[in-house]
């Protein structure tokens, strides 16, 4: 029997988890949680729990894989077998391979790859508990883990999904909305609003797509604020220190 809810949005405009259509789930981040990694971040977003670890830049072996003029950024997304209701078979799957590829590419415009020719930066994103939106949660954690590792970047990357349920656009889909909704559009963008990842499942009209991208941009801006606060609380605010020194 399907556990599809009859309605996703009530007469008050509230979703099954009490959020408004343009509200993201609560997000909590902690940086520097792993001592062996060069950079790390633990992130909770609603019921998602994700750990990101960055190793490098370090020498890449075998040498034939080295890029002579830039660093190679490798991104590995993995769902722990205990992270979902039905146990996931350990090891790569088509889904995780695809998510790893597009998520790694989402960082290409921001990581200043020219600084470490021939080296590799490994980003590992481990989903410990999954509840819809894990690829976006992983990207949000990975960008902070990269910053924690001191990787030179032009800015941060923030990610969020928008979708459609009951014929209405909703920001940051929860599990029932993801499972039974009419569309799911995960997006990642730089802090300047340049889209670096865009995937889509389901159907949206061109007008809905345009409106959805506006919604997701606002969601990403809120996430960027949370990411900035995490950076400031770990490393302090350079502007304030500069002011004090004057």
**Which of these segments, 67-75, 81-89, 118-126, 142-150, binds ligand CDP (CB under 6 A)?**
81-89
Could you write out the DSSP letters of every residue in 113-175?
GGGSTTEEEEEEEEEEE-SS-HHHHHHHHHHHHHHHTT--BSS-EEEEEEEEETTEEEES--H
Instruction: Compute the least distance from the CB of residue 195 to ligand CDP, in Å.
Output: 16
Instruction: Compute the least distance from the CB of residue 106 to ligand CDP, in Å.
Output: 13
Mask for 181-220, x = binds ligand CDP (CB under 6 A):
---x-x----------------------------------
Which of 130, 170, 226, 230 is in the footprint of ligand CDP by CB under 6 A?
Answer: 130
Distances (CA, A) of 125 to 54, 82, 95, 105, 228: 9, 15, 14, 14, 20
**In this structure, is the dihedral angle defined by the CA atoms of residues 196, 136, 140 and 169, taken in order, positive or negative?**
positive
Phi, psi of 92 (to 5 degrees): -65, 150
Interface with ligand CDP includes 37 (CB under 6 A)? Answer: no
Q: Alpha helices, DSSP H only, in the chain?
A: 94-105, 134-148, 175-180, 206-235, 238-245
Taking the least distance from each CB to ligand CDP, the nearer of 72 and 164 is: 164
Interface with ligand CDP includes 44 (CB under 6 A)? Answer: no
Taking the least distance from each CB to ligand CDP, the nearer of 103 and 113 is: 103
Q: How far apart are alpha carbons 204 and 198 in whole angstroms?
A: 14
Interface with ligand CDP includes 133 (CB under 6 A)? Answer: yes
Chain position carrying tokens 């976006």: 136
Interface with ligand CDP includes 172 (CB under 6 A)? Answer: no
Q: How far apart are alpha carbons 1 and 109 in whole angstroms?
A: 45
Taking the least distance from each CB to ligand CDP, the nearer of 129 and 221 is: 129
Taking the least distance from each CB to ligand CDP, the nearer of 84 and 198 is: 84
Interface with ligand CDP includes 160 (CB under 6 A)? Answer: no
Interface with ligand CDP includes 177 (CB under 6 A)? Answer: no
Instruction: Compute the least distance from the CB of residue 165 to ligand CDP, in Å.
Output: 14
Instruction: Compute the least distance from the CB of residue 13 to ligand CDP, in Å.
Output: 23
Chain position carrying tokens 């949000």: 140
Q: How far apart are the first and last CA of the chain?
A: 68
User: Which residues contribute to the site for ligand CDP (CB under 6 A)?
Assistant: 84-85, 88, 130-135, 175, 178, 184, 186
């Amino acid at each position: 029997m399907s556990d599809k809810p009859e309605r996703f949005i009530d007469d008050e405009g509230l979703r099954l988890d009490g959020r408004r259509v343009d509200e993201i789930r609560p997000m909590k981040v902690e940086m520097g949680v792993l001592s062996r990694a060069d950079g790390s971040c633990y992130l909770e977003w609603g019921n998602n729990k994700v750990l990101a670890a960055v190793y490098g830049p370090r020498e890449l072996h075998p040498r034939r894989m080295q890029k002579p003029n830039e660093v190679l950024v490798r991104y590995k997304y993995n769902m722990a077998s205990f992270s979902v209701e039905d146990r996931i078979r350990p090891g790569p799957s088509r889904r995780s391979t695809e998510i790893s590829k597009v998520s790694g590419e989402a960082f290409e415009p921001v990581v200043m790859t020219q600084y470490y020719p021939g080296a590799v930066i490994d980003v590992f994103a481990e989903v410990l508990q999954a509840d819809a939106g894990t690829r976006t949660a992983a990207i949000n954690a990975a960008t902070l883990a990269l910053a924690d590792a001191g990787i030179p970047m032009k800015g941060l990357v923030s990610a969020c999904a928008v979708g459609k349920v009951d014929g209405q656009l909703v920001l940051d889909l929860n599990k029932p909305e993801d499972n039974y909704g009419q569309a799911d559009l995960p997006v990642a963008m730089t802090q300047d609003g340049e889209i670096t990842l865009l995937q889509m499942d389901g159907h949206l009209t061109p007008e809905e797509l345009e409106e959805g991208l506006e919604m997701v941009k606002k969601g990403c801006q809120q996430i960027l604020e949370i990411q900035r606060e995490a950076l400031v609380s770990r490393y302090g605010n350079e502007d304030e220190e500069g002011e004090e020194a004057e």
